[in-house]
Amino acid sequence: MGDVCLVIGAGAGIGGHVGKRFAADGYHAALCRRSDQDGLDRMVAEIEEKGGSASGHLVNAIAENALEELIADVETHIGPIKTVVYNLGAQIGNRALSDTGLKVFERGWRMGTQGVFRIASTLFPLMEQRGGGTMLVTSATSAVRGNAGQHSHAAAMGGRRMLCQSLNAEFAAKNIHVAHILIDSGVNAPDTLGKMMGEENFEKLLDAKGRGKDGLMEPSAIADTYYHIAHQHRSAWTFELDMRAFSDIAWWNHPLNLNI
């Protein structure tokens, strides 16, 4: 068994594609998602059909002890986790402050911030004993820019960014590389953006910006960058990165956006 890449939040978008990318280069991809066993099975089968190694773990990562038990399970039964990808978002849709109860606010924090803390607390001591490791954290525009209706999301993602910086301050010298990767465009992600928008609107979005127009980020292209970051020479590590589609640079000026 090769090195293990554990992906927390492996849907058909970024998470699944990152798993496939690492598996294509000899890693075992341990894929975790919350509710879609068929989707998980399909991704594992796709990797295995190409000669790769993968396992599916249906786990609600924010449940008590779930992340800790998942890491112990993978380490014991599959192998040492060399790279962990924290890909859970904290998006709960647009909610006015009056519609953002304490529970909703706290759920965002559990998914956005606390999960990263729990992984670091559980896995970093093991990585340190082994001489190093990598954590790639998917982030979003909300980590650096608040917005109406995004109180829970932005607070959780902003906290996640600061946590990544603090983890780096303590662990980079121990050869543990934490990269905070800010995804600053919509992604061709049917399991998240697709479900949030609904099938019809997501199809419209794909027609307007996807399907060869490249105005929607392709998760396979994002996954190439994740793989590269995990294999950088430590004299030149990326700690923070923002990525967006070519049409989202000064979007009001780009002809692609005039068609919407």
Ligand X SMILES: NC(=O)c1ccc[n+]([C@@H]2O[C@H](COP(=O)([O-])OP(=O)(O)OC[C@H]3O[C@@H](n4cnc5c(N)ncnc54)[C@H](OP(=O)(O)O)[C@@H]3O)[C@@H](O)[C@H]2O)c1
CB distance 78 to 4 below 8 Å: yes
Residue from 138, 150, 152, 247 in contact with ligand X (CB under 6 A): 138
Q: Please tell me whether residue 36 binds ligand X under the rule CB under 6 A.
A: yes
Measured CA to CA, the distance from residue 260 to residue 256 in angstroms comes to 8
User: Rounded to the nearest whole angstrom, what is the least distance from the CB of residue 201 to ligand X in the complex?
Assistant: 13
Stretch that binds ligand X, among 12-20, 23-31, 165-173, 244-252 (CB under 6 A): 12-20
Least spacing, CB of residue 173 vs ligand X, in Å: 27
**Binding residue for ligand X (CB under 6 A) from 9, 56, 108, 159?**
9
Tell me which stretch binds ligand X (CB under 6 A): 31-39, 99-107, 127-135, 199-207.
31-39
**Binding of ligand X by 140 (CB under 6 A):** yes
Residues 6+ apart with CB under 8 A from 175: 131, 132, 133, 234
Does 32 engage in binding with ligand X (CB under 6 A)?
yes
Out of 4, 5, 6, 15, point to the residue binding ligand X (CB under 6 A).
15
Q: Smallest distance, Å, CB 183 to ligand X?
A: 4
Judged by CB under 6 A, which of 6, 12, 44, 70 binds ligand X? 12
| Part in contact with ligand X (CB under 6 A); list of ranges 128-136, 165-173, 186-194, 247-255 | 186-194
Tell me the three-class secondary structure of the chain, residue by residue.
Answer: CCCEEEEECCCCCHHHHHHHHHHHCCCEEEEEECCCHHHHHHHHHHHHHCCCEEEEEECCCCCCCHHHHHHHHHHHHCCCEEEEEECCCCCCCCECHHHCCHHHHHHHHHHHHHHHHHHHHHHHHHHHHHCCEEEEEEEEHHHCCCCCCEHHHHHHHHHHHHHHHHHHHHHHHHCEEEEEEEECCCECCHHHHHHHHCHHHHHHHHHHHCCCCCCCECHHHHHHHHHHHHCCCHHHCCCEEEECCHHHCCHHHCHHHHCC
Give me the least distance between CB of 205 and ligand X, in Å please: 10
Which residue in 31, 71, 136, 193 binds ligand X (CB under 6 A)?
193
Which one, 128 or 242, has the nearer CB to ligand X? 242
Between the alpha carbon of residue 211 and those of residues 12, 83, 203, 249, 257, the distances in Å are 16, 31, 10, 19, 15
Using CB under 6 A as the binding rule, the residues of this chain from 56 to 115 that contact ligand X are 59-62, 87-89
Residue 219 binding ligand X, by CB under 6 A: yes
In the bound state with ligand X, the residue whose beta carbon lies nearer, of 175 and 206, is 206
248 interacts with ligand X by CB under 6 A: no
When the beta carbons of 172 and 196 are compared against ligand X, the nearer one is: 196
| Interacting residues toward ligand X by CB under 6 A | 9, 11-16, 32-36, 59-62, 87-89, 138, 140, 183, 186-187, 189, 191-193, 219
